[in-house]
Each structure stands twice: as C-alpha cells, then as structure tokens.
Structure 1
Amino acid sequence: MRSKTWISKGGSLMFHVKQLMINNIQYEFVDEGQGTPVLLLHGFPDSKKLWYQMIPELTQQGYRVIVPDLRGYGNTEVAASYQIQDSAADMFSLLTQLGISRAHVIGHDWGAFLGWYLAAHYEAQVISYTALSVGHPNGYLRSGGLKQLVKGSYIGLFVIPGVAERVLAAGDYKVLTKMAEDDRLHQHWYMDLTRPGRLSAGLNWYRHNLKSITAGIETVNVPVMGIIGTQDPALTTAQMKGSEKYVYGSFDYYEIAGGHWLPETHGDQLNQLIIPFLSRQRS
C-alpha cells in the first residue's frame, strides 16, 4: 500500500493507494475510510481522479470508499478485453479480495453502464446503485429518442480503430480541450491518454461493448438513484428518466444544472443528494 498526495480545489489531500492482481490485470485503486463500502466507477476518458473531490465527504460520513482505475485507465494495466462482463467480474473479485461482501455502487459514464450491469447481474453484492449521466441501457435506447441519437453520434467515430485515435490526437489532443469542463480535467486526460496505447484502451470500451449497449441488460431490483446534468452534451434527461421502467426497486431522480462531468464540477452537490440516499438503504 502506498499514499499519494492530491491537490484538490480546497488544498492538498492524501489518499491511500493500493494495487492488486485481478484476473491477470494489475489494478490500482484508492481505498479510503472505514464503514459501509462504496464502490466508485469512472468512465471515458477519466480515471479514479474523477472522484477525488467527493471522497473526503463520503469518508467523513462513515463510508469506506473504493475507487479503482478501470481496465486500461489511469495506472491499471491495459487488457485484451474491455467487455463489460469482464470488468464486472473484476469488480466482484476486487471486492472479494478486500473482504467486502456488499457495497453501494456509484458510476459515471462507462462506469455507469458498468454499474447498471453490476446491479442487474451481481444483485446480492449491490446494496444500492447511483447512476450519474448514463441511464439504464434500455432507457438510453428506447427513451432518449432522436435527440439522444444525435447527441450520441460521436460513438460512430469512436468505434473506428485508428481514425478515432487520429482525430482525438490531432493538434496536440485539441479535442480534449473542447471536451473538458475545467482545466484540471484536461490536465488529467492529457497526462493519461498521451501515454502509449492508453487512448486506444479507452476507446476500446466503446468498440468492445457496442453490442452490449444495443442488446440492453436485465432489469434492476436494487434501489437506484439517477442524476443527470441538464446541460449534458452527450446525454438527454429523457434517457435517465426512462430508466425507471427498468428498475423494480425504488427509483429516485434528480437533475443538476451542469454538464457531463458532475463528480468533478458539482461534487459537493452530488454528495448532498447521494449521502442521504445511501443512508436510507439497508446494508
């Protein structure tokens, strides 16, 4: 185990960073705090750093926060497969190796899709699920309508090997500047994705899971909270609202006046919504 210092909006924070071999992949993750476990899952093009603004409050409220770099991201090794079922098996193994039988799950972007899969297929291990930005895959496909199809058109580029890499890397990764909602996001992405093979690893989450998105997944029985930014450039509020049809447990829905990367830009507001939701669930 080792510690890393993180410069946050409010100053310096120290987090405990660990590494484990999981299904032949070296994972790096933050393991901070004590109490009921909460698993935080990031998406593209992020890493565990996305959650650093939210971790201190979660730990202060009595939660043990587990925050991995997912396959190919951050300091976790690249992999041959990025299929959602493989990453879900990794998360189950991660929790098992840490002696955790059940945890709350919070996911954003691809981490939200992974969270939906965990809630559907690993129900016994999931106390509750909080989906940020990305709704249930069936809601995405059937409730977003033409507006969601237009907003998600970038996926058509991302799934083309070689072409997507050239477009995103052009002009010293100028597209990242346009995507980022603050300077710190851009700095993290640039530092991570300019390493050899890392941009392709992130894009492979799209390429290896396109069929999984279009096929959808099973309904979810655990309590769910869905939160989305009203100015999200890639996702409609309708696809998150429509997720309620595929949740047989309780479904809480909230909108925030923000964009896509809410854990970075609206971390305090998210905590104000999420922590009471977590406290209401039985572990």
Structure 2
Amino acid sequence: MFHVKQLMINGIQYEFVDEGRGKPVLLLHGFPDSKKLWYQMMPQLIQNGYRVIAPDLRGYGNTALSDSYRIEDSAADMFTLLAQLDIARAHVIGHDWGACLGWYMAANYEPQVISFTALSVGHPSGYFRSGGLKQMMKGSYIGLFILPGVAEQVLAAGDYQALTLIAENDRMHQHWYMDLIRPGRLSSGLNWYRHNIKTIIAGIDAVNVPVMGIIGNQDPALTTDQMKASAKYIYASFHYHEIEGGHWLPETHANELNRLILPFLSNYM
C-alpha cells in the first residue's frame, strides 16, 4: 500500500501519494481517473530511485470539489504542493487532462519543470491545428461532455453503463465506478472539459523543456498525428514513441511505459 497524505492547497483539500526518495516525479491523471491510474507504474519508478508524487486532481478521487477546474488554477496548486513538500523542481508526467495540465506547466513554469512526458495527448495547439478531420471525429464526444446535465444523464444511464464500454480492464471500471457514483464527482470530472475548452482552443504557449510524447496507436480518442505535431511547439528536444495500445497506457502498459520513460528521465537530472 502506498503512503497517502493530505494537504490544504489554495483552499482545496488534496489527497496524494508521496513515495520513494530521489529526484521527484509529479504524476498527473486525467478523466475519469484518480491517482490510482499510476499504481501500476509507481513501484518501478520508486525502485529506480525516484520520489513519486501522485495527487488526486481537483474534484477527482479524494481531493475536494471546487468551483474552478481551470488548468491555470490546478497548475498553481501543483507548484504550491511541491513547495510545501520542499521540492523546487520535478519531472512531470501527465495523461489525458493531466497531459494538458502538464503542457501548461511546462510552458508557464519552465524553471520548476525538469522534463515533461506527455501520454496520449499532444500539445493542445497540435491537437486543434494538426489533428485533421480524423481527430475532430475522434474528439466528437467532447461536444457531449461540455453540455451540463445532459452529459451526466448519458454517462450515468444504466448504472454507469458507459464506463463498461470504455474501460480497458475490470480494475479501471471498478475504480471509476466507485469514484463517480459519489455526489458531484461526475460533474466535477466533466467540468475539466467545460472550464478549459476555451483555453485549449486558444492554445498554450510553446515549451522549452525536454519532452517525451507517447501514444497508443489504437487510442480511440486521439490520433498519432496530434502527438507528432507537438514537435512544432517545443523549443527543446522532443522524443516520440508509439506503442501497441489504447488510451489508458499507465494502467494497461505500465512496464512498457517505464522502459521508455526511465532512460529519458535519467538524461535530465
């Protein structure tokens, strides 16, 4: 069992895992996940000499609900969290909305980000400007997710039958279900789409930290092109990898991800 802590960060009660010693690695999940997304990857990161910090982001897991789910506010939360843990700089790894948050952090908090690993979601400017018609079609679900009330009804129908359709294993489904049936939790997750869609469309600045982008070539929501297009918005090095897999790679391909990520992290200490 991992060591779970709680801290009040900018008025939000956060819960997070803080394990291991060495260079810190901040792990950022997306929708509809929690810190548990990283549980398959974390042991090997710890064994290789890293300190992993994996928070439940605003409104997810056991972190409190909020009035704001803007990535600007969550980025400030993350660096406040690191500061309270006496961490000045960290590697950042993000998946899904956690990847969008990571792109924002790398662009706007460069001195505090040693490196950034983006899983599944490429630089937001690449998503909208280089993803093409295929990406628009794959991302059409966002049009539903931003509709208050309607999305909740659709996703909760049939005792959350939609979770069964998108989960890639039973463990994921169980974690999601137990989190989202609690009052307000489904809406808080969907609010990440509603509160950030304008920011993502407007674009995030280019980044000047080393980046690794990894995507599953069978991802139902994202094209490989949008990840490849990230190279246009990175002034530092960009390392791109495709693997045989779907969307929730930290859960389904933890060992393969670690084989790619660990050498990358070791280059930037």
Same fold at TM > 0.5: yes
What's the CA shift string for 1:209-240, capped at 9, x where partnerless? Answer: 01011001100000000000000000000000
Matches of 2:192 and 2:208, distance apart in 1: 26
1:120 aligns with 2:107: yes
**Shift in Å, 1:63:** 0.2
Map 1:125-164 → 2, pairs under 5 A: 125-164=112-151
Matches of 2:199 and 2:225, distance apart in 1: 20
**Shift in Å, 1:124:** 0.4
Describe the SS at the equivalent of 2:2: strand
**Shift in Å, 1:143:** 1.1
Matches of 1:25 and 1:278, distance apart in 2: 30
1:195 aligns with 2:182: yes
State which of 63, 72, 91 in structure 2 corresponds to 1:76. Answer: 63
Matches of 2:111 and 2:208, distance apart in 1: 10
Root mean square deviation, CA, Å: 0.4
Matches of 2:4 and 2:47, distance apart in 1: 18
Letter in 2 for 1:152: G
**Shift in Å, 1:193:** 0.3
Matches of 1:123 and 1:159, distance apart in 2: 30
Letter in 2 for 1:81: S
1:248 aligns with 2:235: yes
**1:5 counterpart residue number:** none
Map 1:6-85 → 2, pairs under 5 A: 14-85=1-72
Letter in 2 for 1:37: P
Describe the SS at the equivalent of 1:127: strand
Matches of 2:166 and 2:31, distance apart in 1: 11
Describe the SS at the equivalent of 1:15: coil
1:216 aligns with 2:203: yes
**Shift in Å, 1:185:** 0.4
**2:264 counterpart residue number:** 277
Letter in 2 for 1:50: L
Instruction: List 4+ stretches of structure 1 deviating above 6 A.
Output: none
1:264 aligns with 2:261: no
Matches of 2:240 and 2:59, distance apart in 1: 31
**1:8 counterpart residue number:** none
Matches of 1:281 and 1:244, distance apart in 2: 19
1:102 aligns with 2:89: yes
Describe the SS at the equivalent of 2:165: helix
Matches of 1:143 and 1:231, distance apart in 2: 18
Matches of 1:55 and 1:230, distance apart in 2: 23
Matches of 2:130 and 2:44, distance apart in 1: 34
Describe the SS at the equivalent of 1:208: helix
Matches of 2:246 and 2:199, distance apart in 1: 25
Matches of 2:190 and 2:169, distance apart in 1: 22
Matches of 1:111 and 1:172, distance apart in 2: 27
Matches of 2:257 and 2:210, distance apart in 1: 17
5+ unaligned residues in a row in structure 1: which ranges?
1-13
Letter in 2 for 1:213: I
